[in-house]
Amino acid sequence: MRRISCVCIKRIWSSNVAASAGIVKLWPKELTFESYEFVLSKGEFLASLWITVKRVVLGTCVSMILTILIAFPLSKGGREPKFRTGYAWFFVFTILFSGGLIPWYMTVRATGLLDSIWALVIPGAVPVFNVILLLNFFRGLPKELEEAAFVDGAGYWTTLWRIYVPLSMPSLATIMLFTIVGHWNSWFDGLVLMNSQHNYPLSSYLQTVIVQASLTNMSAEQLANLASVSDRTVKAAQIFVGALPILAFYPFIQKYFVKGMVIGGVKE
């Protein structure tokens, strides 16, 4: 994967003739940024990028809130809340068995979410794997903190947002990274749930460009621009620009990611 990425980047920075002739080796040939200019000037690419940004923001917020609200009561021991074990197995059941692609699509269509941003957010709003990670992290926190909060008059809601959430930042950062990367890279649901190509998220748009590209779908202006850039370099530029936000975001959260995986994935 790293070798393929390096080759793509070198072709992006090389001229059309050099990339088409296959003479690009270690260094770019005839350095140029015309492929980036062509990609960033395309309205379809920028529109799909904006849809993905909205999806990531909405999907992350909804998923994080629901994950916290589900993991907190399921992390309790004893008989409180009632039927806690049954609820926990209900969520685990969804990991082992799924309804299938057709029932999933029919459910989304019946709720009227097709061809909207919420079709990309609601169906995957509760990732059970993230719930289990956060649940185990909550169980590892000292019970004395919650008991002290109850003595001072705090309820469950206050205890959750004033004690549990601030102490769970490493695990929450891990879950947030999983959610952001999942929404950013997801392409299949966009192809299935969006009736119009104008509503495709970035990953779905790139999939159609890379796999199903056709010269008949291009305008006269785009065909004229292809005379100065290579189709291969344009595709590579789209992939690189699409992956750049995640590459820039990951280093800032990597330390929390590693710590959260260790703490949330092991139960004492």
The reported pLDDT for the residue numbered 223 is 55
Closest CA to 185 of 171, 212, 206: 206
The reported pLDDT for the residue numbered 252 is 73
Lowest-pLDDT range, 38-42, 111-115, 141-145, 257-261? 257-261
**Arithmetic mean of pLDDT, 244-267:** 65
**What are the extents of the domains in the chain?**
33-263
The reported pLDDT for the residue numbered 109 is 92
The reported pLDDT for the residue numbered 23 is 64
Strands in the chain per DSSP E: none
For the cut 90, the answer to whether the pLDDT of residue 61 exceeds it is: yes
Task: Report d(CA 22, CA 242) in Å as an integer.
Answer: 24
The reported pLDDT for the residue numbered 4 is 40
Q: How confident is the model at residue 224 (pLDDT cuts 50, 70, 90)?
A: low
Contact assessment for residue 164 and residue 72, using Cβ atoms and an 8 Å cutoff: yes
Q: Which of 26-35, 131-140, 253-262 has the highest mean pLDDT?
A: 131-140
Q: What is the pLDDT of residues 67-105, one digit of tens each?
A: 999 999 988 876 667 777 788 888 888 888 888 889 999
Token match 């206050």: residue?
158
Lowest-pLDDT range, 10-24, 87-101, 166-180? 10-24
Q: How confident is the model at residue 222 (pLDDT cuts 50, 70, 90)?
A: low
Q: What is the pLDDT of residues 96-139, one digit of tens each?
A: 888 888 999 999 999 999 999 999 999 989 999 899 889 888 98
Q: How far is CA 191 from CA 19, 195, 206, 225, 245, in A?
A: 30, 8, 11, 27, 22
What fold, for 33-263?
MetI-like fold (1.10.3720)
Amino acid 231 reads D
The reported pLDDT for the residue numbered 6 is 47
Lowest-pLDDT range, 32-41, 108-117, 239-248? 32-41
Kindly write down the DSSP assignment for every residue of 12-53, as one continuous string: HTS-HHHHHHT---SS-SS---HHHHHHHT-HHHHHHHHHHH
